[in-house]
Amino acid sequence: MSSPLLARKGRHQQRYDNQLRLVAGCIPYKVKADDGNRSGDLLGRVEVLMITSPGRLDLVFPKGGWEIDETAGEAACREAMEEAGVKGILNDTDLGVWEFRSKSRQNSCTMEGTCKGYMFALEVTEELDCYPEKDNRDRKWVPLGEAYELCRYDWMREALDSFKNLLTEKLVSTVPDLSVSSSFCIVKPTAADHAIALC
């Protein structure tokens, strides 16, 4: 069944930085419920969503052209919805910026086909059954550790390293200081506490 949602097409609104095509993408993730073993291993419960490229079996993260009428974060959310059929909460602090060649220009000696990509973390809150590129891509949830093995490019593994650091910092920043008082209350952080945007 095709999706009633439409993907943007063409490059007439594409952003460039000199000769570099600007792209934005994300690492969609979810944290599985604690299975009761109380190991406290947050990273062991994280799964990331990877997708196939059209006509290929290798797995990548959703990303695509950053257009002139949107922020990098908005572009990342749009690409996640179009390519992977997910929506969620985007952490507006980018994981980093990487330069890489598009898959069609891997062996080129010129700057043509070189992209400058901004990657973000997207906590998935909704998986769509129908989305624009459903017929062209497969999606697969994988444990964080396995994602490293599936990454085709070094920059993707570097983005996963930044993602792990972000999750670790988030975990540390929400742990209460127990030395102050014997009674405490843990409050789930709000969107305002972490400067995140809802996509």
Q: Closest by alpha carbon to 163, among 177, 176, 178, 151?
A: 151
For the cut 90, the answer to whether the pLDDT of residue 193 exceeds it is no
pLDDT reported for residue 9: 62
pLDDT reported for residue 54: 84
pLDDT band at 196 (very low <50, low <70, confident <90, very high): very low
d(CA 10, CA 106): 21
Mean pLDDT of the chain: 80
CATH code given to domain 16-33+40-103+112-172 = 3.90.79.10
pLDDT band at 128 (very low <50, low <70, confident <90, very high): very high
- Over the stretch 36-89, which tens digit does the pLDDT of each residue have? 655 567 888 999 999 998 878 889 999 999 999 999 999 999 999 999 999 999
In 10 A of CB 141, how many CB atoms?
Answer: 16
pLDDT reported for residue 35: 67
- Over the stretch 94-109, which tens digit does the pLDDT of each residue have? 999 999 887 544 444 4
Indicate the pTM of the whole model.
Answer: 0.77
Question: How do 196-198 and 20-31 pair as beta strands?
Answer: unpaired
For the cut 60, the answer to whether the pLDDT of residue 185 exceeds it is no
- Over the stretch 3-41, which tens digit does the pLDDT of each residue have? 455 555 656 688 999 889 999 999 999 998 876 655 567
d(CA 189, CA 187): 6
